[in-house]
Structure 1
Amino acid sequence: MQRRRSTAGLNVTASVSSGAHLGAIPVRVRFAAASGTVLQPLNSSMIAVAIVGIAAQFGSSAGVSWIISAMYITTAVCAPMAGRLGVLLGARRVFVAGLVLVALGSLAGMFAPSVPMLIASYVVLAMGISVHMPNAMTMVRAYAERYRRQSRTALTTLVMCGQSVAALGPTLGGLLVGTFGWQSILWVNLPVVVLSAIAVLRADLGGVQSGRLTARNALHALDVPGIALFLVAITSTMLWLVSMRAQPTWWLLPVAVVFLSLFVWWERRATEPFIDVRALVRNRALSATLARTLVTYSCFYLIFFGIPQWLQYSRGMTAIEAGLTMLPVAGMSVFATVLGARTYRRYGPRVTLLIGTFALCVGGVLIALVESSTAPLVVLALVALVLGIPNGFNNIGNQSLVNSVTTVEEVGTAIGMYRTAAFIGANLAVVTLQMTAGNVVDDAGLHRTGWFIAGVSALLLVGIGFSRHMGNAIRSEVIGP
């Protein structure tokens, strides 16, 4: 983020009138920007129902679990860098490059002869999917500022597409895996890549299609030492979290601490920092949102990893049946995102996040109390409906806050940091699921997981209620720096 950002939350207190008289970004532009962003939630959610089939083919459940970890580690590391590159080279150019990487990773994964090759393929794929949301945000903000439009509706579109696809992913993945085998969750990426490339290349995206710098000049403008320190700090942190599932690699923890300290030290002194940590400290609304995002996503992925595995292991469902059981989450997520956007616009982020977090707490209690193995499918469907509510409200609330407190030059990197927090949360969820449920998710393990979600959500509710860095005056994003 840029050093010129000198105040923590001046943009946060913008009134409703700042965007009330401005028109929405055209539908074709909104959906062009959203087209590539669906690849990340699609792949992250489909893998949950494919992991059993992959393990059956390669005969290594321990090694297969590294596919998920490798994907999330790579995305967490690359997302902020992708936002920064979009500012330097052009958001559209970087966006399309990400589509190319997704296609390459998917093709390689379909024909991977071993687990290590499949993991490598998912690393390439993850590099691609890390690009899209940060640069989509940059594109819609640039369009809004150039043509004097409000970006709130575009943000709702981005979040709604992401949340609906994330919730629909287990169902779609289950149908694909059950019908065509696990490789089908990779080839489904190819038509999405083609359609997204056509949409983005044909759309007017507010002048962000060409970067400010050439590739050579951008390399000089990048804070390479800062990026290197960030890579080591985040990667060692994620690897340490992953190792907690079996035999903890404790030496990675001091490595992470040392390199994180060096990263902060360097960024405070860099002329053009990769992430302006001083501005991040001053912008407490953004810092608090990133911390809240990490915790929220930990609970989110506990649900999306735990329940499909439990349905297959303990209820004896096929991948298709497990996916269909999760279908109500998809419908409710779409509805909750639209309702959450209206709630944010009218009542601000505090009410929006309180509703989403309370629903998450209720969902955790339901998971903990329902008689899992004997519960009728209709009861499971009702639980799934409740679990769809927090997806919409929490994500629209947190991402709208990020959009509100950053400028167009900052928003790509900030959303990248948002993604980093989300995927650290995903790895925390993998570790937590191992601790609460073990290698095979049975009824008792699912109940313990539900109580964990409920307890964490209760603490989040207290934090949101007493937070001093959000207020009911935060009703819309700022249209302009």
Structure 2
Amino acid sequence: MTAGTGRDARPGFDRRLIAPMILGSILNPINSSMLAVALIPIGQAFGAPPSETAWLVSALYLATAIGQPVIGRLVDAFGPRPLYLIGTGLVGFAGLLGVVAPTLGVLIASRVLLGFGTSAAYPASMSLLRTESDRTGMRSPAGILAALSIANQVVAVIGPTLGGVLIGLGGWHLIFAINVPLSLACLALGALRLPRRPRRTADDPPVRVDVVGMAWFAATLTTFLLFLMDPGLAQWWLLALAGIAALGFVRRERHVDEPFLDLRVLRGNGPLLATYGRQVLAYTVSYGFMYGFTQWLEDGRGMTPAHAGLLMLPMSLSAIAVTVLVGRRPGVRGKLVAGSVTLVAACASILLLTGSSPVGALVGVGVLLGVPQGLNGLANQNALYAQADPDRMGSSAGLLRTFMYLGAMVAAATNAAFYADGATTAGLHDLGAFMLVVAVLLVVAVVADRSLGRYGYPGARPSSGGRP
């Protein structure tokens, strides 16, 4: 399918784009969530403690946090098709490397490649969605946004269950091997269905990419997230390097004609900044539970990875049900209020768990956590669609994922800290108390943002947004 071959004549959204959009966008959450039940068996296979296997989590998030906005900006510059194909192809290679990895270091390297490879599809999908919306005149394509969000939310919460089943069938190697058929399917669908951009002519303005700004951005995030993995006075130099890199990044972006991130306009877009802030808070709790709870089930309760994954299934079903029920409803504020308040209740319930808690209580906590899983991500995505500059939708969507994985990195760091002596019940309670504080902050952030009531309804126009 190419641009100009009948697409402009269609009055509705080109539904041939939906399959590659959804399949590509789930590559990241499925690789994030399946690993939750694999950390213990991988650690046993390589003789590594939780403090070392935590790098399997952090490596993916670090690469993704950097890759999402960078590749998103390249999507804005060169179009979604080439970046989608390159990224999903890299996913297959990274999956093969993980299968044959002889050491934990090589396995971590495969996760880095997975992070960069999976960073292309989501900003490409959001860019395609915005282009199609402009072509068809749909101001708020709630149905398509809901489908994209539902797919990501569902995969994120069924990942631990799927990972447990795969490990039960053939060991932890299978959670890497599954990337090969997924990559091939994405490549086939992308090649057949994603539109090509018209060929450039001599009269077209040159494409400019702020590579130096991207490098400063990567240096800032890398040093800061490395500090988060082992915070303390002994690591002050990492924080200092992050500050120096941040100053270099700001200076560069303020003086270049086509910046990677237009900080001057972004600073004036308070609602979009608030959306990014909520994303950090929501996913700090979400990933803190996903990894912390499953490790406790395996280490503290003595469950197998397969059983721990199955015990996460009620959370998956709860999230699916909630997302399906509210996905097509246009409002944003109501979803966020309900999601954040439920998150507070769920975190409080973790403090009541003990090593002898009945299975029913464990299931109940999972069901309660599934509700905000199905609400918060969907609402923030819809808010971003309304707030971001259409010309920078790829980089804006990528930056939303950066803040999502910043929350995941905070969660990984706190998991490593609270489980320094193993995934004990005392460690779970400390983790639960931390997540409760973060959930309360999310409630405050939602209630304080009065702009949320403007977004998501058919009569509401998307804001002109900043140019992040």
Question: CA shift at 1:435, angstroms?
Answer: 3.3
Structure 2 segments unaligned to the other structure (5+ residues): 1-9
Please name the residue that 1:43 is paired with.
31
- 1:456 to 1:65, Cα distance in 2 relative to 1, 3 A: closer
Equivalenced residues, count: 450
Question: CA shift at 1:248, angstroms?
Answer: 4.7
Q: Is 2:158 the partner of 1:168?
A: yes
Alpha-carbon contact 1:83-1:416 (below 8 Å) kept: yes
Distance, in Å, in 2 between the alignment partners of 1:227 and 1:271 is 14
Amino acid in the other structure paired with 2:400: Y
Distance, in Å, in 1 between the alignment partners of 2:167 and 2:39 is 10
Please name the residue that 1:157 is paired with.
147
- 1:202 to 1:480, Cα distance in 2 relative to 1, 3 A: farther
Please name the residue that 2:4 is paired with.
none
- 1:213 to 1:281, Cα distance in 2 relative to 1, 3 A: farther
Question: CA shift at 1:463, angstroms?
Answer: 2.1
Amino acid in the other structure paired with 2:36: A
Q: Is 2:112 the partner of 1:123?
A: yes
Pick from 80, 83, 98: which aligns with 2:72? 83
Distance, in Å, in 2 between the alignment partners of 1:211 and 1:98 is 21
Deviations 1:113-160 (A, max 9, x none): 111111111111111011111111101111221233453211111111
Please name the residue that 2:18 is paired with.
30
- 1:69 to 1:264, Cα distance in 2 relative to 1, 3 A: same
Amino acid in the other structure paired with 2:401: R
Distance, in Å, in 1 between the alignment partners of 2:397 and 2:290 is 22
Pick from 380, 384, 401: which aligns with 1:398? 380
Amino acid in the other structure paired with 1:29: L
Write out aligned runs for 1:136-151 (5 A).
Answer: 136-149=125-138, 150-151=140-141
- 1:128 to 1:219, Cα distance in 2 relative to 1, 3 A: farther
Write out aligned runs for 1:54-93 (5 A).
Answer: 54-61=42-49, 62-93=51-82
Alpha-carbon contact 2:145-2:382 (below 8 Å) kept: yes
Question: CA shift at 1:432, angstroms?
Answer: 1.6
Structure 1 segments unaligned to the other structure (5+ residues): 1-21
Identity %: 34
Question: CA shift at 1:470, angstroms?
Answer: 2.3
Pick from 183, 201, 210: which aligns with 1:223? 210
Distance, in Å, in 2 between the alignment partners of 1:91 and 1:304 is 31
Q: Is 2:324 the partner of 1:354?
A: no
- 1:403 to 1:103, Cα distance in 2 relative to 1, 3 A: same
Pick from 93, 113, 119: which aligns with 2:102? 113
Amino acid in the other structure paired with 1:448: D
Question: CA shift at 1:339, angstroms?
Answer: 3.1
Amino acid in the other structure paired with 1:92: R
Distance, in Å, in 1 between the alignment partners of 2:233 and 2:100 is 31
Deviations 1:143-193 (A, max 9, x none): 221233453211111111111111001011011112201110011111211
Distance, in Å, in 2 between the alignment partners of 1:49 and 1:248 is 31
Distance, in Å, in 2 between the alignment partners of 1:310 and 1:247 is 29
Pick from 407, 411, 422: which aligns with 1:440? 422
The TM-score, its normalising length taken from structure 1, stands at 0.88
Distance, in Å, in 2 between the alignment partners of 1:212 and 1:282 is 35
Pick from 117, 129, 132: which aligns with 2:121? 132
Question: CA shift at 1:439, angstroms?
Answer: 4.1
Distance, in Å, in 2 between the alignment partners of 1:448 and 1:480 is 41
Distance, in Å, in 1 between the alignment partners of 2:328 and 2:131 is 23
Question: CA shift at 1:257, angstroms?
Answer: 1.2
CA RMSD of superposed structures (Å): 2.3
Amino acid in the other structure paired with 1:357: S
Question: CA shift at 1:69, angstroms?
Answer: 1.2
Amino acid in the other structure paired with 2:343: L
Q: Is 2:405 the partner of 1:423?
A: yes
Question: CA shift at 1:29, angstroms?
Answer: 2.4
Question: Bigger CA drift: 55-64 or 388-397?
Answer: 55-64
Partner of 2:259, secondary structure, is coil
Write out aligned runs for 1:178-193 (5 A).
Answer: 178-193=168-183
Distance, in Å, in 1 between the alignment partners of 2:60 and 2:252 is 28
Alpha-carbon contact 1:92-1:139 (below 8 Å) kept: no
Amino acid in the other structure paired with 1:157: A
Question: CA shift at 1:242, angstroms?
Answer: 1.0
Amino acid in the other structure paired with 1:118: L
Partner of 2:255, secondary structure, is coil
Pick from 326, 334, 342: which aligns with 2:320? 334
Question: CA shift at 1:472, angstroms?
Answer: 4.5
Q: Is 2:292 the partner of 1:292?
A: no
Question: CA shift at 1:358, angstroms?
Answer: 0.7
Write out aligned runs for 1:211-250 (5 A).
Answer: 221-244=208-231, 248-250=234-236
Please name the residue that 1:465 is paired with.
447
Distance, in Å, in 1 between the alignment partners of 2:297 and 2:414 is 18
- 1:218 to 1:130, Cα distance in 2 relative to 1, 3 A: farther
Distance, in Å, in 1 between the alignment partners of 2:11 and 2:143 is 9
Question: Bigger CA drift: 317-326 or 30-39?
Answer: 30-39
Distance, in Å, in 1 between the alignment partners of 2:272 and 2:327 is 19
Question: Bigger CA drift: 48-57 or 75-84?
Answer: 48-57
